[in-house]
Structure 1
Amino acid sequence: MKTEEFLQILKQHQDKSLLFEYAPNLLVGANYHITEIKHITVDSVDCGAGVDAWKETIVQLWEDPNELGKTTFMSALKAMGILNKVGTIKSYIMDAELKIEYSNANFHTAQLFVNDYEVRGKNILMKLTSQATDCKAKEACGIQVSEVEEMAGCAPGSGCC
């Protein structure tokens, strides 16, 4: 999801609570805070000497241990207030990929993609997912990938990953 789409969704649903699902059926606690917004420029060279660059917006979430019993999630309106304030200090690149950075005692720190979202009653549920690392220069590196494996999409157990 791009930064612009995320901001538009929040704006359209300001009256709803904002929930994040970091793994199937596992939600970031209601005690979360938006603690940092990162405007990242990635400038990379892959193992085949291919050069690439792109922008990312990373929204960091943190669960406050002093609010463990909290049951009311942050509203989209409050999240918009935080994001808008950041935008007045440091402008967003609207077509930048949006990632959510999160961890807890049982989940390692990760930058997760917003794979999808759902409006469920009075909630907006942002569905997060990780993305496996991959060799971007398979051909240049001599890595053979059969047509069957390519069609399988490198699914776990498919033999190509």
Structure 2
Amino acid sequence: MNAPALPLTIGFVGDASLGAVLDALRPHAARRLVISYDGRQTEPGYHVTEVKAGSFVTLDCGGNPDAWQETILQVEDLPASAEKPEHMEVGKFLAILEKVASRVSLQPGSRLTFEVGPPGRPMQIFDVEAIRIEATSAVIELGPRAAICKPRHRAEQEAAQAASPCCKPSSGCC
């Protein structure tokens, strides 16, 4: 069997779920896990400080109700130390989440969010955009989560779809 050429990028469309990210990481348990955020990579001593599982029920500014489940991983970006000279292995990261799941109900279909920051600085909120598999590491590539007005965002998406000639039945492309 031929192994895929590296680096291999696994992209996520929309909100990445906890289950999809864990499934993508499982085959790479022996690789080092690096988290890429805000134009930088985590230092080797980073620490998963908290795992949160939440159910949200909301009402947006247009009066539209919404509900979803979310898993939030809080990561403190720390430099290497004598105890942690290298990035943790993917297998250790998976074991941390398995331990949490034995005590807290983590839903595989929940939206996965990262809160990341170095000591003494405000945390930033990120979504998983991709996982890049390299020879010795797996890199979780995070992107910023922008603030949006959901009703305006939905209207813009609908307008873009309506303006697209390919999506009209008379276009013959569908």
Which TM-score bucket, shorter chain as reference?
Answer: 0.7 to 0.9
Deviations 1:60-82 (A, max 9, x none): 11134683995410001111111
Alignment match, 1:96: 110
Deviations 1:115-159 (A, max 9, x none): 0110011100000011211111239xxx999x68x98xxxxxxxx
Shift of 1:111: 2.0
Q: Kindly provide the amino acid, as one letter, of the partner of residue 49 in structure 2.
A: T
Alignment match, 1:10: 25
Q: Report the aligned-residue RMSD.
A: 2.9
Q: What CA distance in whole angstroms lies between the structure 1 residues aligned with 2:149 and 2:95?
A: 39
Which 4+ stretches in 1 moved above 6 angstroms? Answer: none
Q: Kindly provide the amino acid, as one letter, of the partner of residue 10 in structure 1.
A: L
Query: Contact 2:44/2:80 (CA < 8 Å) preserved in 1?
Result: no
* 1:115 partnered with 2:115: no
Considering only CA atoms, is the larger Rg found in Structure 1 or Structure 2? 2
1:34-73 correspondence runs (5 A): 34-64=48-78, 67=81, 71-73=85-87
Structure 1 residues 88-97 or 130-139, which shifts more? 130-139
From the superposition, tell whether residues 14 and 40 of structure 1 become closer, same or farther in structure 2 (CA, over 3 Å).
same
From the superposition, tell whether residues 109 and 136 of structure 1 become closer, same or farther in structure 2 (CA, over 3 Å).
same
- TM-score (norm. length: structure 2): 0.73
Q: What CA distance in whole angstroms lies between the structure 2 residues aligned with 1:125 and 1:144?
A: 33
Q: Kindly provide the amino acid, as one letter, of the partner of residue 5 in structure 1.
A: A
Query: Contact 1:44/1:52 (CA < 8 Å) preserved in 2?
Result: yes
Say which SS state the counterpart of residue 102 (structure 2) adopts.
helix
State the percentage of identical aligned residues: 25
Consecutive unaligned residues in structure 1, runs of 5 or more: 152-161
Shift of 1:5: 1.2
- TM-score (norm. length: structure 1): 0.79
Query: Contact 2:38/2:144 (CA < 8 Å) preserved in 1?
Result: no
